[in-house]
């Protein structure tokens, strides 16, 4: 077995252990007030940060191009219509493609 597969299997086992530790150690307990209100907001905030950082980064560093226009259109669709994220992905793709044609 190669070193790559040993690393993949090791990381998979560590991930399972970390993900399983939370429910085993803290299952059935209520979170403190402030943490209980903030916790549901952490996943969308993390996802938004990842989307923006991937949109604005390139091999050469920070870049602003047509992808930012598509991201803005997708954000507008989600904000105004409160519709499906799938629709936002399609809107972002279409607007980005059109912006690349025009610019």
Query: What digits encode the pLDDT tens for the residues 21-39?
Result: 878 887 777 878 888 888 8
Domain ranges within the chain, ordered by starting residue: 1-30, 35-102
SS3 (DSSP) at 83: coil
Supply 29's token pair. 């307990």
pTM of the model: 0.59
Q: What is the pLDDT of residue 52?
A: 86
**For residue 91, what pLDDT is reported?**
94
Which CA distances in Å does 5 have to 9, 16, 19, 32? Answer: 6, 16, 21, 41
Please give the mean pLDDT across all residues of the chain.
Answer: 88
CB atoms within 10 A of CB 79: 9
């Amino acid at each position: 077995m190669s070193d790559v597969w040993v690393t993949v299997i090791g990381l998979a086992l560590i991930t399972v252990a970390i993900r399983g530790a939370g429910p085993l150690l803290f299952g059935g307990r209520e979170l403190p007030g402030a943490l209980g209100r903030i916790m549901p907001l952490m996943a969308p905030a993390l996802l938004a940060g990842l989307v923006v950082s991937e949109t604005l980064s390139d091999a050469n560093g920070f870049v602003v191009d047509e992808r930012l226009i598509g991201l803005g259109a997708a954000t507008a669709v989600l904000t105004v219509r409160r519709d499906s994220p799938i629709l936002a992905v399609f809107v972002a793709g279409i607007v980005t493609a059109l912006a690349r044609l025009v610019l």
